[in-house]
Amino acid sequence: MKKSPLIIIGITLKPNSTPEFYNILPNLCSWLLRRKRKVIFQIEDKERVYKFFKNKVTDHLEFWDAKKFHQDIDIMLSLGGDGTLIGVCRRIKANIPVLGVNLGRLGFITEFNKNEYFDRLGDILDGKYDITIKPLFHISVMRKNKVHFKDYFFNDAVLAKNDIARMIYLRAELEREHIYNISGDGIIISTPLGSTAYSMAAGGPIVHPDVKSLILTPICPHSLIHRPFVVPDTSPIVLKILPPYHSVTLTLDGQVAINIDDQDIVLINSSKVKKVSLIKNDQRSYFETIREKFIFSKRD
């Protein structure tokens, strides 16, 4: 379905600079400006964007603060990998379409690679694109019956031990029903889109992104019967620390980390408000991506 043309273009860059930006950014920005688009970067990226342009003219580029940058643009181009895209998804306003471009080798969420996105960009900016809407998941840490911390995650939330050669003990519940007690290195709560990341490496299943679920994957469980669970995302997940207590950290999408106290309770549920609109690559299916990344089969 054709939509209104996209005029104000935000560009998010991979945090770690890559030599590819020296070629990609000047060409991309010149192409956009010739088509009468406004090109916007975050103010924090101003110095290194100038480096990528060397001595070329950058007078027509704009640099906005983080809040305006994630709320007042028409489309966001995420140039990097899955980590860069996840960072965008946690901040972007829900109705702004996000185009994920993978500049690396392994990426599942980024729909386009660096060799194909440019051929499609003209049509996308003219409003010829489809989106898939994905929820973020809300997480809160309760401490002494008060909300100590709250945030969102897109890929996974990980509750893991800090100490070497120590196990931690956790209780997992689904809507007040006891699932199991786990002893081991911790637990991963993964979304379907995040199922091919840390959860899979820890032995969790690959879950199609259209399945409305969360995946509980124990990390190095001490008991062989503590297997991954796929549960509906309509009910809250509750995690509690059990004695004997050891140092524990909660990590969201590998980008935010906080220490968890012994008596803290971690609550996870699907957000009814926080969502992200990802531009779909109609030239590639989910299973094509899986086959390409994992090389399940070399036959046609």
Q: How does 183-217 read in b/e, with b if 16+ C-beta sit within 10 Å?
A: ebbbbbbbbbbbbbbbbbebebbebebeeebbbbb
Widest distance between CA atoms in the chain: 64
Find the domain containing 186 and state its range.
137-271
- In three-state secondary structure terms, 45 is helix
CATH of the domain at 217: 2.60.200.30
pTM score: 0.90
CATH of the domain at 90: 3.40.50.10330
84 and 181 share one domain: no
75 and 181 share one domain: no
85 and 151 share one domain: no
16 and 91 share one domain: yes
Number of domains in the chain: 2
118 and 47 share one domain: yes
The predicted structure's pLDDT at residue 295: 61
User: Is position 263 within any domain?
Assistant: yes
User: Is position 2 within any domain?
Assistant: no
126 and 143 share one domain: no
The predicted structure's pLDDT at residue 282: 85
> Strand 8-13 vs strand 177-184: parallel, antiparallel, or unpaired?
unpaired
- In 3D space, the residue among 82, 86, 70 whose CA is nearest the CA of residue 11 turns out to be 70
> Strand 146-153 vs strand 131-143: parallel, antiparallel, or unpaired?
antiparallel
Q: What is the DSSP letter of 128?
A: B
245 and 219 share one domain: yes
27 and 63 share one domain: yes
User: Is position 300 within any domain?
Assistant: no
Beta strands in the chain (DSSP E): 8-13, 38-42, 61-64, 75-80, 97-102, 112-113, 131-143, 146-153, 156-161, 168-174, 177-184, 186-190, 213-219, 229-232, 237-242, 248-252, 256-260, 265-279
pLDDT string in tens for the chain (300-residue length): 668 899 999 999 998 777 889 888 999 999 999 999 999 999 999 999 998 987 676 789 999 999 999 999 999 999 998 999 999 999 999 999 999 998 876 677 888 888 788 889 999 999 999 999 999 999 999 999 999 999 999 999 999 999 888 899 999 999 889 999 999 999 999 999 999 999 999 999 999 999 999 999 999 998 878 899 999 999 999 999 999 988 999 999 999 999 999 999 999 998 777 899 999 988 888 888 888 777 644 444
Instruction: Please list the active-site residues.
Output: 82
